[in-house]
Structure 1
């Protein structure tokens, strides 16, 4: 696309904003932005990386917005009282939400590949991006997480890839309803489960998304996804399943602590053995989704299967941060019942007690997910495991605190599982480090807070004494 006007991102360091800004800068647009984390000195390396890509950074005090020619990009959650938004109103600058801008770029691409679903979006997006890259297709990729395959000393925050090929691969968020803006050529639907909104709304949004696609790649192991697949003509659906009946099937799974192998079978053909560098049954499902999308994009089964073996994973997705004193520390993005359950199942396949620090990603989601979270922890926690919850992420603004971490802990404790509320996050981490003994696995879990990775690294250092 040609970019005439300059862009200004309010909250440019966010996991959804930063890769979009990187893509625009890589396409030759003039990009600037502000962020509260920049003002407070948090995660300076992230902002150094943006500057290195030619992005101008300003305090979030309105000083960076001076012209009606600027396009101000901000999430719907940014309040009108934020100085940048006041300045945008004063100078008459055009405002766009992140999804409005992203969908404009996405829909303009000759081959738009959108990845939707409650869980696994970032991983599948990274897998598709890596397959296409490895096969010489030079895709553009918009991700919400750092893709290890593309990260380097020169690109430490590689949550975006700017290519010259026809494919634009992007994860697509349903949490604010903006998924309706996207018109994918290839749509991936990993799964449908409770997260940000009632199930009826989720089903309607995902159904509308896949209905626009020339090919929809859908998980038949997920009941809601399988039902949505039935609403489309069979010729427009590529289904996948583990040990089931589908167009793409994984059989004979062989897990290891940090990887998994399986037989890949396409429509009853000869099996192709595939070994992933990421662990867990859920990542086999993610791989099937990515291979299905690659097949729809014209990549052969053998090429896709061989390429995905080189996928190195994502930052904060079951990432081993370090080991000390016989204790492993793992950083993970788990923040809803399905994601957390998948991580716990993967870990429980091997011996060792689990010490979990779960920081909820907001008071609103905690209210929506309360009963499902409690039921999941009651089911998935081992009797020797320990769950510690600090208070939820809070980054300013007005918010209702009807359900708190203390409520979740009280509900879990009633089920007989071990759970503790330690309000301050650093104190919660110190509590787990003090409890740890050889053979334990400490898992730091949560979303919307990039400093959780720093906390995990700090815990490794504390274990080393």
Structure 2
């Protein structure tokens, strides 16, 4: 299907584009691409990893788009004025969005598992992919985050697993509406909360997605997801929940600093489980993954044994290291639910939190202002410190109606310690300077690969104090 076909990815370094490019290259396609980050010299190791796979990289000036035998792939965020897109129109190259191409591969698979929801998609996708791989099912996995189980020294950016065409596991994205393209064998819905779209839009998108599946796995511990589950055919519905009644439920939770134990209850079955990732939210993620692989034909005892080997994702409560008695954690938290889950997990154990939160754009700040402020006001302790640099900005025209300064002011008015330091390096230096033994520094944010580099640099600053 793909061998010898030519593709050009515009924005190939993006979290959704890179794994898809890796899958196509692994299946024998001729893949090339460009990226604004490459031209700007950001995260060179990522682009070196793509080149090591035989993927040719070009400046984003149109030079890499050569003819109508190339399919040009771009995310919905790429402007028509980008030279590669202009050149594609000139040479008559066919075009696909990232989601359209991924959906083609997904829908062609004999067993397709699609993971949806506002939070936890990448982790559940990684868990499912690892279980199927560990048990010999040879899945292809399309993820938005690096899966530690598959990362190696020669493959550090393992956000994809290139397996066979029969089983395809993928995150599906509601933010641009492309979730509607997917026809899942097994649909997973973790939760429904405010992020990129209104709740009304989300209810429609997630409802249509789960209704198409042969089996729908829904976390009924989430109120919005539970309401949606009530509209589905009970014969194809599998419910999961933490410490409440469901087809698969978790009881007897026992937290560890970077792990958690629980008892899995599935009808008459009982299994003791220890995850190598912490937090109640990861218990919910594990329940969803276990239900999904069982629906795909994996016996539950085998799945339980395999999931205990799942080592997590980069930038998902990722311990970078410890120095001077201070732990540095890199985390993808960027919407209220994700941020709350991380803060709750950290507050299960003693120690002050020093949080650097870089918003992932001015639009999300405007959409989520009230909810973000409420989350920080509720979840930060009185001695925690929140520092916000300016939002990540990588070009384009944006309205700056709500700023990081507005969020910091609102959180301060609500009685928590929050500070706006516009320059990110200065914000990081402020936290390092004020850190003391027993503190946990947490770097939070999305859509910016350099946040991991920042977290590593903060650790080095602590070591050299």
TM above 0.5, yes or no, is: yes
**Partner of residue 366, structure 1:** 365
Q: Which runs of 4+ in 1 moved over 4 A?
A: none
1:385/1:418 contact within 8 Å kept: yes
Deviation for aligned residue 1:4: 5.6
**Partner of residue 286, structure 2:** 287
1:392-451 deviations in Å (ceiling 9; x for gaps): 111101111111101111111110100000001111000100110000000000000000
CA–CA separation in structure 2 for the residues paired with 1:165 and 1:11: 25
Deviation for aligned residue 1:165: 5.8
Deviation for aligned residue 1:2: 3.4
1:383/1:417 contact within 8 Å kept: yes
Deviation for aligned residue 1:460: 0.4
CA–CA separation in structure 1 for the residues paired with 2:236 and 2:189: 13
1:137/1:165 contact within 8 Å kept: no
Instruction: Extract unaligned runs of 5+ from structure 1.
Output: none
CA–CA separation in structure 1 for the residues paired with 2:444 and 2:33: 29
Secondary structure of the structure 2 residue equivalent to 1:33: strand
Alignment of 1:286-305 (within 5 A): 286-305=285-304
Secondary structure of the structure 2 residue equivalent to 1:315: coil
Deviation for aligned residue 1:270: 3.4
**Partner of residue 249, structure 1:** 249
Deviation for aligned residue 1:105: 0.9
2:170 matched to 1:170? yes
**Partner of residue 334, structure 1:** 333
Alignment of 1:29-48 (within 5 A): 29-48=29-48
**Partner of residue 103, structure 2:** 103
2:440 matched to 1:441? yes
**Partner of residue 225, structure 1:** 225
CA RMSD of aligned residues (A): 0.8
- TM-score in terms of structure 1 length: 0.99
CA–CA separation in structure 2 for the residues paired with 1:40 and 1:382: 39
2:2/2:24 contact within 8 Å kept: no
Instruction: Extract unaligned runs of 5+ from structure 2.
Output: none
Secondary structure of the structure 2 residue equivalent to 1:271: strand
1:333/1:446 contact within 8 Å kept: yes
**Partner of residue 143, structure 2:** 143
Number of residue pairs matched by the alignment = 464
2:109/2:165 contact within 8 Å kept: no
2:219/2:288 contact within 8 Å kept: yes
CA–CA separation in structure 1 for the residues paired with 2:158 and 2:437: 34
Alignment of 1:313-392 (within 5 A): 313-392=312-391
**Partner of residue 419, structure 1:** 418
Secondary structure of the structure 2 residue equivalent to 1:322: strand
**Partner of residue 277, structure 1:** 276
Q: Which range is displaced more, 164-173 or 291-300?
A: 164-173
1:107/1:183 contact within 8 Å kept: yes
**Partner of residue 161, structure 2:** 161
**Partner of residue 16, structure 1:** 16
CA–CA separation in structure 1 for the residues paired with 2:69 and 2:426: 47
Secondary structure of the structure 1 residue equivalent to 2:192: coil
